[in-house]
Structure 1
Amino acid sequence: MKKALVILASTLAMSGAFAQTAAPASAPAAASAAAGKHERNVEDRIAYLHSQLKITPAQEPQWNAFADVMRSNGETMGALFKQRQDAGAQSALDDMKQYATIAQAHADGMKKLVDAFEPLYSSLSPDQKKLADQTFHQGPHNGGKKHGKAPQ
C-alpha cells in the first residue's frame, strides 16, 4: 500500500509540467493568467525537447504528432487540476475520487504520449536516440519539469 501511494504521488509530481497554477475562483484575471502560464509551461517543454533532441525537418511530422499529444494532455490535466481547485472543501471520499480521476487521466495521457513518441523515436538517428535516452532518463527538476542540464 505504501509503495502504491509513493508511486501515485511520484506520478502526479511528474505531471507538474501539466499542472495549472492555483488561482482563486473569484479572480477571473488571475485564473486567465494562470491558464496562460500553464500553456507557456507546456510550450516551453515542447520547445526544450525539440531543441534538445535536434529534430530535423524530415522528423517534423512525427514531432508534431508528439507535440500535439503533449498539448492535449496539458489541456486535460489543466482542466482536472482546475476542477480540483474549484471544488473547495469536500469529503475525504470525494477528494480521493477526484485524485483517482487525475491519476487515471495521467496514465491515459502517458499511454497516448508513448504511442506518439514511438514513431518519433524510431525516426531518430543513433545520436538523437542517445540524447533522448539521456533527456528522458533525468529525474524531475524545476518543480516537476524534466529540464535538466543538457547531456554532455
Structure 2
Amino acid sequence: MKKALVILASTFAMSGAFAQASAPAAAPVAASATAGHEARTEQRIATLHSELKITPAQETQWQQFADVMRQNGETMGNLYRQRTADKNLSALDDMKQYTQIAQAHADGMTKLVAAFEPLYTSFSPDQKKLADETFRQHGKEHGGKKGHAAKSSKSDDVAEQ
C-alpha cells in the first residue's frame, strides 16, 4: 500500500513539473505553464475526490491531503522552473539542483503519506478497496514498467537538464 501511495504521490508531484521543465523560461509561458499545472493538480484532486467517494465527514481530512498535494506540486514546479531558467549551469551546480529536487520530492512524499494516512484510516472497507485499486492503477500508468517505458524519455530529459 505504501508503495502505491509513493508512486501516486510521485506522479502528482512530478507530472506537472515535468511538463513545466520543458517550457522556455519566458515569463508569459511560465505563467501559462503554472496555470496549466495548477489546473491539472485541481483536476486530479477533483477526480480522486469523486473516485474515492469522500463523505462529508471525511472532508476535513480530505482537504488536508489535497492541500499537501497542492503544496508539493507548487514546490516541485518552482524547483523545475529554477532548474530550467539558467541554461549555463556547471555540471556541479546542475547536480546540486537535482539533489534539491530529489530532497524536496522525498520531503513532499513524507508529508503526503502523513496527510493520507488518517484519511485512509477513516475510509469504509469499500473506500479502501477503491483507493487501493485507484492508486495501484495510477501507479501502473506512471511508475510501472509499461508506464516507465512510455515516459522514460521525458523523465530522462528532465534528469539530464
What TM-score comes out, normalization by structure 2 length?
Answer: 0.75
Greater helix share, structure number: 2
CA 1:47 to 1:126, structure 2 compared with 1: closer, same or farther past 3 Å?
A: same
What is residue 23 of structure 2 aligned with on the other side?
Answer: 23
Matched, 1:44 2:54: no
Bigger shift: residues 16-25 or 130-139: 16-25
What is residue 95 of structure 2 aligned with on the other side?
Answer: 96
Kept in 2: contact 1:17–1:41 (CA 8 A): no
- Percent identity over the alignment is 61
What is the CA–CA distance in structure 1 between the aligned matches of 2:69 and 2:27, rounded to whole Å?
A: 25
Q: Which consecutive unaligned segments of at least 5 residues does structure 1 have?
A: 1-9, 145-152
Q: Cα distance, 1:75 vs. partner?
A: 0.8
Kept in 2: contact 1:42–1:74 (CA 8 A): yes
What is the CA–CA distance in structure 1 between the aligned matches of 2:16 and 2:113, rounded to whole Å?
A: 16
The secondary structure found in structure 2 opposite 1:23 is coil
Q: Deviations over 1:64-94 (max 9, x none)?
A: 0000000011110010010001021312111
What is residue 81 of structure 1 aligned with on the other side?
Answer: 80
What is the CA–CA distance in structure 2 between the aligned matches of 1:95 and 1:72, rounded to whole Å?
A: 24
The secondary structure found in structure 2 opposite 1:90 is coil
Q: Cα distance, 1:18 vs. partner?
A: 3.8
> Which residue identity is paired with 1:92?
A
The secondary structure found in structure 2 opposite 1:62 is helix
What is residue 120 of structure 1 aligned with on the other side?
Answer: 119
Q: Deviations over 1:82-123 (max 9, x none)?
A: 000102131211111111110110000000000000110011
What TM-score comes out, normalization by structure 1 length?
Answer: 0.79
What is the CA–CA distance in structure 1 between the aligned matches of 2:106 and 2:124, rounded to whole Å?
A: 28
Q: Which consecutive unaligned segments of at least 5 residues does structure 2 have?
A: 1-6, 153-161
Matches within 5 A, 1:64-79: 64-79=63-78
Alignment length (residue pairs): 133
What is the CA–CA distance in structure 2 between the aligned matches of 1:102 and 1:93, rounded to whole Å?
A: 14
Q: Which protein, 1 or 2, shows the higher relative CO under an 8 Å CA cutoff with sep ≥ 6?
A: 2
What is the CA–CA distance in structure 2 between the aligned matches of 1:39 and 1:137, rounded to whole Å?
A: 24
Kept in 1: contact 2:45–2:66 (CA 8 A): yes
Kept in 1: contact 2:68–2:115 (CA 8 A): yes
